[in-house]
Every structure is written in C-alpha cells, then in structure tokens.
Amino acid sequence: MERAKMAEESLETAAEHERILREIESTDTACIGPTLRSVYDGEEHGRFMEKLESRIRNHDREIEKMCNFHYQGFVDSITELLKVRGEAQKLKNQVTDTNRKLQHEGKELVIAMEELKQCRLQQRNISATVDKLMLCLPVLEMYSKLRDQMKTKRHYPALKTLEHLEHTYLPQVSHYRFCKVMVDNIPKLREEIKDVSMSDLKDFLESIRKHSDKIGETAMKQAQQQRNLDNIVLQQPRIGSKRKSKKDVYTIFDAEIESTSPKSEQDSGILDVEDEEDDEEVPGAQDLVDFSPVYRCLHIYSVLGARETFENYYRKQRRKQARLVLQPPSNMHETLDGYRKYFNQIVGFFVVEDHILHTTQGLVNRAYIDELWEMALSKTIAALRTHSSYCSDPNLVLDLKNLIVLFADTLQVYGFPVNQLFDMLLEIRDQYSETLLKKWAGVFRSILDSDNYSPIPVTSEETYKKVVGQFPFQDIELEKQPFPKKFPFSEFVPKVYNQIKEFIYACLKFSEDLHLSATEVDDMIRKSTNLLLTRTLSNSLQNVIKRKNIGLTELVQIIINTTHLEKSCKYLEEFITNITNVLPETVHTTKLYGTTTFKDARHAAEEEIYTNLNQKIDQFLQLADYDWMTGDLDNKASDYLVDLIAFLRSTFAVFTHLPGKVAQTACMSACKHLATSLMQLLLEAEVRQLTLGALQQFNLDIRECEQFARSGPVPGFQEDTLQLAFIDLRQLLDLFIQWDWSTYLADYGQPNCKYLRVNPVTALTLLEKMKDTSRKNNMFAQFRKNERDKQKLIDTVAKQLRGLISSHHS
C-alpha cells in the first residue's frame, strides 16, 4: 500500500516538474523567478534538476540533427560569400576612391552650401526680426509720443495715448521684456500725469487768487461801461452796444477748450492784458483767464475715475480762497481804494466760479454757488456795516455807495441776487445823512461866524440881481429905491438858503441807482432836509443866539434873517418837487418843518433880546448912586438914568425892521424890568433909612422913565399902555410924597381906589425906613411938637398897615 502511495506521489511530482519545464520554455526570462521559487519550495529539487538536465540533452540532440540537416547549404553559402568578399573589396575601393574624389570636388560646394545655409538662416532671422519690429515699432512710437506729450505738459492727450498703448498695442507684444517694463511703468505714468495736472491746478488756483482783484476790476469796469452805454441808449436808442454778451464770452471760452494748439495747453492761468485806452473797449472779465488747467485736470481725473475726488478738492480749495477774499483789511475804511480792492477780489472770485459753472458739467453746481454767495453776502454786508461806520466824510460815503451799486450791478449780471446789498445801502443812507448833517453843521457855523449881521448893501443893478438870484426875495418898494440901497437881511440868508439846496442835491445824489421810486426819493430828501433844518441849522442858530458876546444889533438882524428864511420855505418845497417830480399833494408826502425851525430861532432871539436888554438895564442900574439920606433936591433926573434912557431910545430905533409885536414886547419887557429893578432898588434891605428928599429925587427918575414911555419909543402902543409898566412905582411914590394915607386906608380893597397898585407890605417896608430916619434925624426932634405929631402919625399908619396885612393873610 505504501508502495502504491509512493508511486502515486512520484507520478504527481513528475507531472509537476513537466509543467514547470514547459513554463520555463515558454515564459520570458524576466518572469521566471516565481517558477523557480515553486521548485525550491518543494522537496524534489534534486529530481527536478535531473529532469532539467535530461530535457537539455534532448534539445541538444534536436539542435545537432537540425544543424546536420542544413550544413551543406551553410558551406555553399560560405563559399559564395568568400567570392563576393573579393568583389566587395573592389567595390569598396572604388567607392572609396569615388568618395575621395567626390569629397575633394565637393569641398567648395559644401563650403558654399554652408554659407548659403547661413545666409538662409540669417534671412529667416531678419525676416522674423522685421516682423517683430513691425509689431513693436507702433508700441515704441506711442511710448515716445507719450513721453513727448508728458514733456510738453499735454497731459490729457498723454493720458489718451497711455490708454491706447495699454489696451491696443502692448497686448500684441506682451511677451517681450521691454513691454513688461512699460506695463510696470503705466501706473507710475498715470500717477505722474495725475500729480502734474494737480500741480498745474494748484498753480492756477494760486494765480487766480492773486489776480482776483484784476479780474474783478475788469468785470466791474465792463459793468460800468455797459451802464454808461445803457444810459446813452436811453437818450439815443439807435446807438448800439459793443459789449460782448455773457453767452458770447462763453462761446469764446468753449472754442478755447476744444482747441488742441500748444498755446491752449499752456498753464498760463492769467493772460497778460495791455492797459487799454479809455476810449477802447474793455475786454471781458473771462478774457483775462486761461481755464485750460481746470478743464484738463477735470478730464484727466474723469478718465482716471477720480472725478469726485477732484470736485471735492476744487470746492474745498475755493471755499478756503473765498474765506480769504471775504476777510477785509483792517484799514479798508480809510480810502475808497481799500473798498474797491475788496470788491474787486469778491467779484473776481465769483466771475471765475460762474464761468466754471457754465463751462463744466458738474464741477460746481448751482447749490454750491448759492451757498458760497450766501456766505459772501453775509460777510460782505457785515464788513461794510462795520467799516462804513468809521467813515465821517460824506464824499467818501457817497463814493462808497456808488461803488457798492456797481458791485451789486456787476454780480447781478452774473445771476447773483443782490437785494440785501440794496437794503444795506438804505442803512448806509441814514449814516450818509448823519455825515452830511455833521458837514453842514460846520458849513452853517462858518457862515454864521463870518457874517457881519448887517443888511446887504448893493450899489448896482448887477449886484442886486445876483443877490435876488441866490435868494427868492421880492420887494417892490425896495426895487423902486435908487442905488445904493440895502436888503433887509444879511449875507447869511442867501448863503444858508443855497447851502440847504446843496444839501438837498447831496441827498439826491445818494438816491441815484438805488432802484427807488420817485415817492421814496422825495420822502428821503424831505426827511433828511427836515433833520438839517430842525436839528443842524436850528442848533447852529441857537448857538449863535446864546453866545455871550452877541449884541442887540446882531440879535435883531437874526430875527429879520429868520423871518425871511421862514418865508423861503415854500420855495424849498417847490425846489424838492421839481427835482423829484412828486407833487406836495401826494398822499403821505412829508412836509418841511423849516417854518418851525425859523420860528423857534426867532423866538429864541427875541428872548435873548429881552434878556440882553434887561442885562444892559442892570448894568446901568449898577451905576446908580442914590443918597438915601439927602434932604436936597437936584431938580433933574440921575445921570445914570438919563444915559439908560438914551441907550433904550437908540436901541429901539434899531428895531424898525423887526415885526411890530417883537419890538413892542421888547420895549414893554424892558420897561417892566426897569420898573421892577427900581422898585427892588428902593426896597432892598441894604437901604435901611431914606428921607423924603431922597424919594423926591427918586420920583424925578421915575418921571423921566414915564416921559420915555409917553414918547412912544416903539410905534404900535395904545395911549399910556407903556406907562402902565411904572404904575406901581408911580402910585407908591405919590402915596408917600403926598402923604395921602387917609385915602389909601379908606379906599383899600376897592376896585377903583386911587392907590390900587400899592401893596401894604411894600408900603409898610418903605414906611419903616422913613420912621427910622425920623427918629434918628435929630436927637432933639422929640421936643418939637410937629415932629412928635409926625412920628405918631407914622406909627399910627404903620399899625393900620399891619392890620391890613394881617386881615389880608387871614
């Protein structure tokens, strides 16, 4: 059984070795490893090796059989090959010779062919190079053009060139190194263009800031020229205006913007302008400015996508410049040139902004302009209010008004609202009136101080007509008088009248070009004239009247002068009506208060005459030297009183030209004051004693006064009216001289009593002075019966007077 099993295993092993051998024979040597591993994995590798050796011997026998089968053919082939070898050697030798000959003969050809090859290669290279250069040359030309444009500061065309270079030309040659350098430089070039254009803009802004006054001066001169032409057109409608319209000016500037000439690319900012002659046309304000830097910079920033940045920067810088322009110099109020330069700068600023508004799309807008103008308007008005308040010269104020009107008209042409400026001019009008009043106060003071207060003498018809031409005066009787003759008024009347008219003319000048109605102008002139009359002229007259050294003659002449000036007020009314064409009957027309002014001045002069007369009377009374204890009688009036009466006569003789009531009042006032002063002189406390002789002397003086009153020093008094001023003294003296106490005491209190004007207190005071005199006159008088009786009578009268006084008070 074991044998059978072993035999079976042996068969299996032999079959496995056979399979392995077939695999070895059929398998690639590179993959024989796994097959050999299977042999060594088994335990029969010795037997396999035997099997392998047996198979190798079998193959060797088969090879030997095959070689033996093909040997004769091999030998034949070798024999033929040996024969061929000789022939081949010959052929080789021939070929070698032929090759040597050919190489020798073709050596030059090879050299030529090599040269041809090199030429063809160079030709191909040149052709390729030309093609590439033709592709690169436009790029280089564009880059060169870009550099030239940068050098000549043609930045906007340079930016356009840069755009073409970047998007059209460089992509075609992008694989070249120089193109990469160009591509890397493009952002730098853009920034350079941006920076240079911004630098040009800054130069432009700085230039127009410095030259704003020149721009504004030209604009205002142009507005003045237009206004003059308008006035000429109103007078001569056929005369045409040569002034360019605003639209024409903008058309010119649009053409300049579109121009690509080198001149239009220059950043000049402000163009040079020769000084024009007066008769030549004034250039337009914008003709002075080259706006190309602004337009270029705006286009450049727009192309670069930074338009908003540019707009914000431009507006910010212009706002800063506006604040600088609107800051007035501290001494602006000193001269008109200060105001003119201030206005020129403002006008220049807004002329530039207005042009930018109309020639660019959105760089500035109407809201921005309106905001700047509102700020400028408020600051300008505030500055004018402040600085004009320092001005005390009416001529400067008037020139300032004309300058403000021109300033407003100029800006109004450009569409800026200027109503607030005209409202402010109405405020300056009040200040102008005040400065005029101050000036005319000096004029009136000078006229009144230099006047001689004497009637104007005229010696010829020419002189007479000259005075009448200056002052509206008509007097038929005076005209009939032969020369020489005199006007009733002094020189200050026509001078004051003419100065009032000059004042009215000055007021009218200020109202021109203020767009006021005729009624408003008339009202303004009348109100200002009323202030001149009621305040300035009135104060001047009052100051003259109140002067310490003024005489009665001057006061009389002032009354005469004011009377004539009062009559002339209706002519002043007509004068104002003629220049304003507003009838006095118009509703709400202001009336002149000149009559009131001159009446007040006349009344003041009258009062001053009364006061002056009384002072003169007091001066004469100070010379009175009565001997109150005298017993003798001179039988004539006192010297001082005679002189006083002579003075009064001569004074009242001057009053012939005065209104009758004034002369009568002055005369009555003087007599009353004289009577009162004499009464006080008689009753003053210093006079403790007086005699009957002194009373009789005093009575002579009173008689002199009564004689003066009866003589009628001033016509117009009714009979004995002037004597009533001395009635108190007359009745008192009659009572004492006649010693009529019984009548006085019996009739006291009755309306028709003889001594109605004698006050018991006054009588008692005077009686006490006489009683003391009676007591001390003679120490032995008490032993005389008559003296004792008289003393008793005085005591009795005194007692009765005291009783009257007591009953009167109760």
CA dihedral 654, 659, 661, 667 (to 10 degrees): -10
Residue that wins the pLDDT comparison between 504 and 790: 504
pLDDT band at 279 (very low <50, low <70, confident <90, very high): very low
Position 774 scores a pLDDT of 52
φ and ψ at 643, to 5 degrees?
Answer: -65, -40
pLDDT band at 268 (very low <50, low <70, confident <90, very high): very low
Residues 330-341 have pLDDT tens digits of 888 778 888 888
Position 258 scores a pLDDT of 39
Position 648 scores a pLDDT of 86
Indicate the burial class of 156 (C-beta count within 10 angstroms; 0-12, 13-18, 19 or more). buried
Sign of the torsion formed by the C-alpha atoms of 764, 767, 773 and 776: negative
Q: Is the pLDDT of residue 779 over 80?
A: no
Q: Which residues pair with 486 in a beta bridge?
A: 457
Helix 33-41, helix 2-26: angle, nearest 10: 170
124-128, 348-352, 424-428, 448-452: range with lowest mean pLDDT: 424-428
Residues 771-795: what's their mean pLDDT? 60
pLDDT band at 781 (very low <50, low <70, confident <90, very high): very low
Position 118 scores a pLDDT of 92
CA–CA separation, 353 and 350 (whole Å): 5
Residues 560-583 have pLDDT tens digits of 888 888 888 888 888 888 888 877
**What helix, strand, coil percent values describe the chain, rounded to 5?**
75, 0, 20
Residues 483-496: what's their mean pLDDT? 89
Of the candidates 15, 23, 24, the residue with the CA atom closest to the CA atom of residue 42:
15
3-class DSSP string for 105-142: HHHHHHHHHHHHHHHHHHHHHHHHHHHHHHHHHHHHHH
A 10 A CB-CB count for 583 gives 9
Position 2 scores a pLDDT of 67
Structure tokens at 349: 């600023």
Sign of the torsion formed by the C-alpha atoms of 367, 368, 371 and 373: negative
Position 278 scores a pLDDT of 42
Place of tokens 């207005």: 354
Residues 200-216: what's their mean pLDDT? 81
Residues 27-63 have pLDDT tens digits of 766 667 777 777 777 667 777 788 888 888 888 888 8
424 contact partners, CB below 8 Å, separation of at least 6: 381, 384, 385, 404
367 contact partners, CB below 8 Å, separation of at least 6: none
Residues 598-608 have pLDDT tens digits of 888 878 888 88
Residues 96-110: what's their mean pLDDT? 86
307 contact partners, CB below 8 Å, separation of at least 6: 298, 301
CA 412 to each of CA 232, 361, 515: distance values in angstroms, whole numbers, following the listed order: 20, 23, 13
CA–CA separation, 131 and 611 (whole Å): 125
Q: Is the pLDDT of residue 245 over 60?
A: no
Of the candidates 585, 416, 417, 422, the residue with the CA atom closest to the CA atom of residue 511:
422
Position 477 scores a pLDDT of 84
Judge whether 266 and 290 are in contact, CB under 8 Å. Answer: yes
184-193, 306-315, 345-354: range with lowest mean pLDDT: 184-193
CA–CA separation, 467 and 276 (whole Å): 48
Residues 445-467 have pLDDT tens digits of 999 889 888 889 998 888 888 98
Judge whether 521 and 511 are in contact, CB under 8 Å. Answer: yes
Judge whether 546 and 564 are in contact, CB under 8 Å. Answer: no
Residues 184-197: what's their mean pLDDT? 76
Whole-number percent of the chain with pLDDT over 90: 4
Q: Is the pLDDT of residue 277 over 70?
A: no
Residue that wins the pLDDT comparison between 537 and 720: 537
Q: Is the pLDDT of residue 494 over 90?
A: yes
Structure tokens at 491: 């020189």
Position 29 scores a pLDDT of 65
Residues 611-637: what's their mean pLDDT? 81
Whole-number percent of the chain with pLDDT over 70: 86
Position 614 scores a pLDDT of 85
128-142, 405-419, 554-568: range with lowest mean pLDDT: 128-142
Judge whether 781 and 769 are in contact, CB under 8 Å. Answer: no
Position 585 scores a pLDDT of 65
Residues 223-249: what's their mean pLDDT? 57
Residues 502-552 have pLDDT tens digits of 999 988 888 887 778 888 888 888 888 888 888 888 888 888 888 877 887
Position 265 scores a pLDDT of 37
pLDDT band at 119 (very low <50, low <70, confident <90, very high): very high
Residues 722-760 have pLDDT tens digits of 888 888 888 888 888 888 888 888 888 888 888 888 888
Alpha helices (H) along 236-269: 246-258, 262-265
A 10 A CB-CB count for 70 gives 10
Indicate the burial class of 441 (C-beta count within 10 angstroms; 0-12, 13-18, 19 or more). middle
pTM higher than the cut 0.75? no
Q: Is the pLDDT of residue 632 over 80?
A: no
CA–CA separation, 155 and 196 (whole Å): 8
Position 242 scores a pLDDT of 38
Residues 638-642: what's their mean pLDDT? 87
Position 418 scores a pLDDT of 86
Q: Which residues of 406-423 are buried (b: 16+ CB within 10 A; e: fewer)?
A: bbbbbbebbebebeebbe
Position 498 scores a pLDDT of 93
152-156, 246-250, 554-558: range with lowest mean pLDDT: 246-250
CA atoms within 13 A on the CB side of 27: 14
pLDDT band at 125 (very low <50, low <70, confident <90, very high): very high
